[in-house]
């Protein structure tokens, strides 16, 4: 017997997370939408709201994107510093 995998849209996932954040219990969402608890908790982790130190509200997905971008920019900065040393020696 093979498992059936459902592909849920990002909009649907965010709607489920919004329901949770508005106070609906996970067990109620599981019954209403016939979902697995693990799926819902994964979506909450990814799309749930996170309050930052500066008081801004964002989600984990956005934070991960920002961290990757920050790492890329730091690497570029290091490369430019090394290039500057090479060109100033000449």
d(CA 77, CA 55): 28
Residue 82's pLDDT is what? 92
Residue 12's pLDDT is what? 95
Residue 38 makes CB contacts below 8 A (sequence gap 6+) with none
Count the alpha carbons within 13 Å of 78 in the hemisphere toward its beta carbon.
Answer: 6
Domain segments of the chain as ranges: 7-47, 60-90
Residue 5's pLDDT is what? 63
Question: If the chain, 90 residues long, is cut into consecutive pieces of 10 residues, what is the mean pLDDT of each piece?
Answer: 71 94 94 94 88 76 88 96 86
- Look at the pTM and tell me if it is higher than 0.85: no
Q: How far, CA to CA in Å, does 87 sit from each of 5, 21, 80, 82, 90?
A: 56, 54, 10, 9, 6
Residue 52's pLDDT is what? 73
The number of helices, as runs of H, and strands, as runs of E, in the chain is 4, 2
Residue 59's pLDDT is what? 79
């Amino acid at each position: 017997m093979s498992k059936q995998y459902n592909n849920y849209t990002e909009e649907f996932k965010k709607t489920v997370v919004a329901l949770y954040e508005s106070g609906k219990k996970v067990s109620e969402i599981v019954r209403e939408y016939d979902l697995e608890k693990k799926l819902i908790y994964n979506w909450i982790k990814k799309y749930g709201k996170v309050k930052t130190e500066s008081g801004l509200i964002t989600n984990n997905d956005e934070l991960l994107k920002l961290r990757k971008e920050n790492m890329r920019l730091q690497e570029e900065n290091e490369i430019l510093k090394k290039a500057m040393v090479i060109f100033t020696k000449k």
